[in-house]
Amino acid sequence: MTARPKVLEEPGSARSPRVSTRRWLASTVVLALLVAIAVYLSRTGEEPVYLERLSIGLLLGTCLLQFVSQLCLNGSLLLPLQSCVKGLGFWELYLVRTGGVLVGSIVPVAGGLAVRLAYLRRRGLTYLEFTWATLLSNALALGAAALMAVFGIGALWMIAGPPPAAVLAISGGVLALSVAALVLFEFLPRLTRHPRLAKWRWLSEMSSLSTTSPRMAASVFVLSLVRHSLNFVTFGLLSQALSRAPGDFLTGGLVYVLTSPVRMVTITPANLGVTEWVVALVGKVLAFDLATGLIVAIAFRGVGLVAQALGVAFGSAWLAAWSRP
């Protein structure tokens, strides 16, 4: 693995005159996707039935799972950043990251990252260090998701026989993507030494990256694996409750890991509509009807937001208590 950079150089960036157009298009896409969800679910006429299947106990349990998942996510992002920003606190990063999520819900593509970068630069973090830490966390998270997908496919194969070819293709794509991300991250410093990249000084200076601590990489990977496992269980419980089929616990969890790469790329603000339809389509290939997939995705987003709010409340109280003289 590669490690944190030594050099600061932020790329010059002029505000594109097309930014507002892209935001308008993204908002239009979100609106169209959400309207499509509402129209489809209204035509099925089964929303009340589905909602009745989501018991209070189930929602509380999944919120707790998502709260712990959020803590693991925060930890996996914190470890690389702490090697660059001394004294960066767990709850401090949690609150900054949550603020970024809120901004990302309004500004597509990089709104959340911009909030984190703006705050951490005031703490002395360089643009290059931020890029390194983000790439490390995402590459290892993608690798953990691929490992979960392999185990999920294997378990489903043993229980229900060979999965559909499309599911095998998607899982193979996730595995290939994770391997490519890890290899790219490993060899990124060497690639950036290429003479053609010299004109982008900030990029060519990535060649100054040194070796990442194996212990840190292992810790980030384990935290990512635990987070994906908790999300797997959450998705499985929601899917099983809505479909009323015991075997859909495994199927639902597998849908989560197969669609996890989509959550790493922000296409629309907070990926509203995009994640829901991708989950529904992959779920339909496996076992669900579209309505079940859409409602599972919406419920998963809902319990995740509640868990984040719980973390904000706890983190704010913690920082307030420890900041008193």
Pairwise CA distance, residues 224 & 79, whole Å: 12
The model's pTM = 0.84
* Confidence at residue 10, expressed as pLDDT on a 0 to 100 scale: 44
Q: Is 277 a domain residue?
A: yes
Q: Which residues partner with 2 through β-bridges?
A: 211
* Confidence at residue 306, expressed as pLDDT on a 0 to 100 scale: 93
Among 114, 87, 90, 93, which Cα is nearest to 103's?
114
Q: Is 116 a domain residue?
A: no
- Count of domains forming the chain: 1
Among 49, 60, 10, which Cα is nearest to 302's?
60
The backbone torsions φ and ψ at residue 270, rounded to the nearest 5 degrees and listed phi first, read 60, 15
Q: Is 224 a domain residue?
A: yes
* Confidence at residue 6, expressed as pLDDT on a 0 to 100 scale: 47
Pairwise CA distance, residues 123 & 130, whole Å: 12
Q: Is 188 a domain residue?
A: yes
Query: Quick check: helix, strand or coil at residue 10?
Result: coil
Pairwise CA distance, residues 4 & 36, whole Å: 44
Q: Retrieve residue 68's tokens.
A: 């712990």
Q: Is 121 a domain residue?
A: no
Q: Is 86 a domain residue?
A: no
* Confidence at residue 255, expressed as pLDDT on a 0 to 100 scale: 94
* Confidence at residue 14, expressed as pLDDT on a 0 to 100 scale: 45
Pairwise CA distance, residues 184 & 177, whole Å: 10
* Confidence at residue 47, expressed as pLDDT on a 0 to 100 scale: 65
Per-residue pLDDT 10s for the chain (325 aa) are 544 444 444 444 444 555 567 677 777 888 888 899 888 888 876 666 777 788 899 999 999 999 999 999 999 999 998 888 888 889 988 988 887 566 555 555 555 667 777 778 888 887 777 878 888 899 999 999 999 999 999 998 998 888 889 889 999 999 999 998 888 877 766 666 666 655 555 555 555 555 578 899 999 999 999 999 999 999 999 999 988 877 789 999 999 999 999 888 877 777 888 999 999 999 999 878 888 899 999 999 999 999 999 999 998 898 888 776 5
* Confidence at residue 205, expressed as pLDDT on a 0 to 100 scale: 56
* Confidence at residue 46, expressed as pLDDT on a 0 to 100 scale: 64
* Confidence at residue 57, expressed as pLDDT on a 0 to 100 scale: 93
Q: Let me know: does 163 contact 156? Beta carbons within 8 Å.
A: yes
Pairwise CA distance, residues 91 & 74, whole Å: 9
Residue type for 212, please? T
Q: Retrieve residue 38's tokens.
A: 């509402």
In the numeric block, the tokens 């979960």 are attached to 148
Q: Is 12 a domain residue?
A: no
Q: Is 161 a domain residue?
A: yes
Pairwise CA distance, residues 166 & 286, whole Å: 9
Domain with 232 in it: 46-77+130-304
Q: Please provide the DSSP assignment of 105-173 as one string.
A: TTSTTTHHHHHHHHHHHHTT--HHHHHHHHHHHHHHHHHHHHHHHHHHHHHHHHHH-SPPHHHHHHHHH
Q: Let me know: does 27 contact 269? Beta carbons within 8 Å.
A: yes
Cα torsion at 83, 109, 138, 81 (round to 10°)?
10
Q: Let me know: does 18 contact 269? Beta carbons within 8 Å.
A: no
